[in-house]
Structure 1
Amino acid sequence: MNTKAVIFGLLITSFIIGNIYRFSFFSPQVRISFLDISVIILTIVSLVRNKGRIIIKSVAVFAVVSLFSLLLSTRYGLPAQMIGSFYWLRWVMYTSLPILFANSVSSLSLRRLMIILSLVIISVSWLQYIYFPDIRPWFYLGWDLHYYRVAGSFLDPGFTGLMLVFILIYLSISPLRSLPVSSLLWGLAYLGLALTYSRSSYLAFLVAMAYIALVNHSAKFFTLILLLFTLTIFWLPRSPDGEGVKLERTRSIQARLDSWRNGLIIWRDHPLLGVGFNVYRYAQKEYGFITSADWQQTHAGSGVDSSLLFVGATTGIIGLAAYLYYLRYLYSVSSPLLRASLLAVLSHSLFLNSFFYPFVLVWLSLIFVFSKVDISPPLHS
C-alpha cells in the first residue's frame, strides 16, 4: 500500500468536500463527515504500520481524565455516554494523526500537501463566494444564515477564516520558492479572510502576525500589517441585506455572552470533573438552556463558544489542567510556525470551540510533523 498516496487522496478530498455533505450515525447528534471517515481509515493504517502500538503521551493525561469524566456522567443515560464516547474516540484519533504522518510522509511531501490543501481552501472559498454567496438555504441543516460572506466548504465564516489565517502564517514564515506565486496566494488568502467578516479570525490573524514580527524583531512588518488591515476594514463591501457583514453587529456578541454564561453556570455546579466529555448538550437541556424541538441537532447545543470553557464545563478543573499541560508542552517545544498557529487558535478559541474543530486538528497535526516536533514527550516532563 502506498500510504503517502492514501493520505494525500483522503485529505485533499476531505478538504474539498468539507462540511457540505455529512450524515447521521445512530443518532441525530452524531454527524459523520468525509474527513471523519478518512481519519478512521488513516487510524487503521497507522495501527497496522505500528503493529497496534500507538501511544501519544502528550495527550494521554487529558485523554484519561476526559474519559473518566465521561464514565461518571451516568445521570444522562447510556445513549448520552455512547455519543460522548464516539466524540472522545474521534478526538483521540485526530490527535494520533502526527504518528502516521511522521512515519509515512517526508518533510518535503508534507510541504507539498500543505501547499495543495492551501490551494484547495483558497479556491473553494472564492468559488463559494462568487457562485454561492447565499448559504441561507442550508439553515434547515443547522447552519447559520450567512449571506455574502466567505464560508468555503466548511459552511462557516469563522472556521474558514481561521483556516485562511493558517495559510497566511505558513506563507509568511515559509514562503514558496517563487516569490510572485507566494505573494499571489498570500493576497488571495488575505482577501478571503477579509470577506469572512469574522472578527475572531481577524483577531487570530493580528495575534499571529504580531508574534511573527516579534520573533523576527521587525516592527516594520507589523506596522505594515496594521496599515493593510485598517485600510481593508475601511474598504470592505457591505451588503444591505446581510447582517453578518456588519462588523458592528451585536446579535452574535449577545449570543456569545449567553453561551459563556451558560458554560460558567454548568462548570460552577460541576467544578472538578465537569458534566462529562461531550455530553454538554444533555446538560444544557437539563438546565433549560436549550428548549427547541431540534435540541439534538442544533449546533448551538453541542458546545460553548470558547474551547477552554468547553473543557472546563465538560471535564472540570482537573481536565482543564490536563489540557493546558498538553498545550503548554506543544508550545514549549515547537517551532515559530507551530507557535504562531497555536497562538492564532488560542485567540480564536476565545470565541469559538476552535481547538476541537476537526479541520483545525488536521492542519495542526501536519504542522507538528513539518516542524519536526517530538509528539511523544514523557509524562513527567
Structure 2
Amino acid sequence: MGVLKVSFIILLLLFPLGQITRLDLHNGIVINLIDLAVGIVMLIFLFVNKSKKWRENSLTKPIIIFGAIGLLSLIINIKVINLSEFIVSVLYGIRWISYAGIFFVVSAFDHEFKKTITKIMLFVGSLIILGGYLQYFLYPNLRNLYYLGWDEHLYRMFSTFLDPNFAGAFFVLYFLFVFGLTMHFIKSKKKNYPMFLSLLSACSVVAIFLTYSRSALIMLIIGSTTLFLLKKQKKLIIMILTISVIFFVITANNFYIENLNLLRTASSKARLESASHAIEIIKDNPVLGVGFNAYRFAQSKYGFIKEDNGALSHSGAGTDNSFLFVLATTGVVGLISYLFIWFNIFKRAFRILNSNGLQETMSAILIASIVGIFANAFFINSLFYPSIMLWMWTLVGLIENKN
C-alpha cells in the first residue's frame, strides 16, 4: 500500500477527534490535528502524483477560480486590513483549498481502495455516534469550557464537535450515508450488512434528535426525502415525517428548558441579528466582499463584536449562513463562482445516477447530502466547517471514475 493511501487512512482515523484537538493560537488563528493531516495528505499527493491528470478534471478550474477570487478579495482590501490580518485570512484560504483538494486525492484512488474508504467512513462515523452517546450521558454540558468560548449546550448531544448544531449536521450526513448503503445491500440481497446498517441508521436518527438542533431536523427531513425519492422509496418519507412528529410531541414536556425547546426564540433572534450584520457588510462591499475569511476583522471594524470577545467567541469568524458568509467575504463574484463548483458536482452526480450498483447508490447519497447541507447552511455556516468539508469532498471523490 502506497504512502498516499496510508496517509489518507490515518486522516480518516483522526476524523472522530473532531474539535477535541482544536488549538486557538494568536490573532484568531485556529488549527486542529485534522487540518494538519489534510495539509500533509495534500503535500504527499502533489509529490507522488506524477500523472497530473487532476489538472484536466472539470472541477479543477472552478475550484482554482474561487480560490483566486478569494485571494483577490483580500488584495483589494489590503488597505483596510493590516498585514497580520491578511496573513491569517490567506492561511484560512489555503486551508479551504487543501480540503477541496481531498476530492482530487480520493478521485485518484482505484476502485477497490474506494471500497475500503467507504468501510472506514462507516467505522469512523460510528465512533462519533458512540462518542455522542457517551458524552450525552456522562458529560451533559460544556459549562467548564465556557471560558474558552464554548456555549454550555445543556442536556444536548454534541459529541466530539462540541457543538450540537454541527454535530447534528454531521449525524444527518452519516445517516444518509448509512441508510443509502442499507438500501443498496438490501437490493443486493446481502444477508448480514442490512441488519447491522439498519441498527446503525436507527442510532444515527436518535442521535440527531438528541442534539435538539432544529437546523439538523430540517436537514434530516429534506435530505432523507431527497434520498428516498431518488431511491424510489416514497413510503419512507412518511416514516421519517412520522418519527419527527412523534419526537416533537414527546419532547414538548421539556420545552420549559430553553436549550431543549424546539420553539425557542433566543437562538432565532441571534441568527437574525447575525444575518442583519452580514447584510450590512454586503451592502458596503457587494462586488468582492471584505476579503475571504476576513469576516472577523470586518465585524470588529463595524463594531458588531468587541476585539476581546471576537478573539474568544467561536462564531465571530463567520455568520450563521454559509451563503451570506461567501457573499460578505467574496461578494457577488465569489458567490457565483462558489455555487458554480457545486453546480458542476451536482451535474456529474446526476449523470452517474443512471449507472448501476454501488456507484449509483453513492451518487444518490451525494445528491441527498448536498441538498441537505445546503438547507442546513441557511442556519449555520456548515459548508465551511472542517469536518463537514472533509466528509463532503471525500464523497465527491468517491463517485469519480478514475478511468
* Aligned-pair CA distance for 1:51: 4.5
Distance in 2 between residues matched to 1:231 and 1:24, nearest whole Å: 41
Q: CA deviation at 1:144?
A: 1.2
Q: Which one of 73, 89, 96 corresponds to residue 84 of structure 1?
A: 89
| Pairing partner for 2:233 from 213, 218, 223 | 218
Distance 1:133 1:327 in 2: 37
Counterpart of 2:46 in structure 1 is: 47
Offset at residue 162 of structure 1 (A): 0.9
**Residues paired across the two proteins, number:** 373
Counterpart residue identity of residue 76, structure 1 = I
Matching residue of 1:269? 284
Q: Distance between the aligned counterparts of 1:36 and 1:333, measured in 2?
A: 28
8 Å Cα contact 2:170/2:388 also seen in 1: yes
Give CA-to-partner distance per residue, 1:272-313, whole Å, 9 cap, x none: 000111111111111111126232231221111100100000
Q: Aligned partners of 1:138, 1:24: CA distance in 2, in Å? A: 13
Residue of structure 2 equivalent to 1:174:
181
Percent identity over the alignment is 30
Aligned to 2:8: 7
- Please give the alpha-carbon distance, in whole angstroms, between the structure 2 residues aligned to 1:41 and 1:59: 19
Please state whether the residue corresponding to 1:76 is helix, strand or coil: coil
| Rounded Cα–Cα distance in structure 2 between residues aligned with 1:251 and 1:139 | 18
Alignment-derived partner of residue 249 in structure 1: 264
Do the aligned residues in 2 keep the contact of 1:148 with 1:242 (CA within 8 Å)?
no
- Tell me what 1:31 maps to: 30
Provide Cα deviations, 1:183-240, integer angstroms capped at 9, x if missing partner: 1101111100000000001111100111123223333111111111111222238668
What is the letter of the counterpart of residue 162 of structure 1? A
Cα deviation 1:13-56 (Å, max 9, x = unaligned): 2x23211232234x241111111111111111111112595642
- Specify which of 111, 116, 123 is matched with residue 123 of structure 2: 116
Q: 2: distance between equivalents of 1:292 and 1:104?
A: 45
**Aligned pairs (5 A) from 1:278-357:** 278-291=293-306, 293-334=308-349, 335-357=363-385
By how many angstroms is 1:248 displaced?
Answer: 1.3
Contact 2:289 2:328 in 1 (8 A): yes
TM-score by length of 1: 0.93
Q: 1:50 to 1:4 in 2, by over 3 A?
A: closer
Partners of 2:179 and 2:197 within 8 A in 1: no
Shift of 1:111: 1.3
Shift of 1:81: 0.6
Q: Partner amino acid for 1:172?
A: F
CA contact (8 A) 2:255 2:261 kept: no
Alpha-carbon distance in 1 for matches of 2:289, 2:92: 16
Write the distance in 2 (CA, Å) between the matches of 1:132 and 1:237: 23
Name the SS of the counterpart of 1:174 in structure 2.
helix
1:266/1:5 Cα in 2 relative to 1: closer, same or farther (>3 Å)?
Answer: same
Contact 2:24 2:31 in 1 (8 A): yes
1:337 and 1:371 in contact (8 A); partners too:
no
Where 1:230 maps in the other structure, the secondary structure is: helix
Do the aligned residues in 2 keep the contact of 1:69 with 1:277 (CA within 8 Å)? yes
Aligned counterparts of 1:64 and 1:206: Cα–Cα separation in 2: 36
Q: Alpha carbons of 1:138 and 1:52: their partners in 2 closer, same or farther (altered >3 Å)?
A: farther
Alignment check: 8 A CA contact 1:161 1:201 kept: yes
For residue 125 of structure 1, what is the amino acid of its counterpart?
A: G
- Separation of aligned partners in 2, 1:336 and 1:37: 31
Give the structure 2 partner of residue 379 of structure 1. none
Matched, 1:144 2:151: yes
- What SS class does the counterpart of residue 23 from structure 2 fall into? strand
1:130-181 CA deviation, whole Å, 9 max, x = no partner?
Answer: 1111212111111112111010101010111111101111122212652221
- Per mean C-alpha deviation after superposition, the further-off stretch among 71-80 and 345-354 is 71-80
Q: In the alignment, is the contact (CA less than 8 A) between 2:146 and 2:152 conserved in 1?
A: yes
* Cα-Cα RMSD: 2.0
Shift of 1:339: 0.7
- Per the TM alignment, residue 11 of structure 1 is displaced from its structure 2 partner at its CA by 2.1
Conserved in 2, the CA contact under 8 Å of 1:69 and 1:273? yes
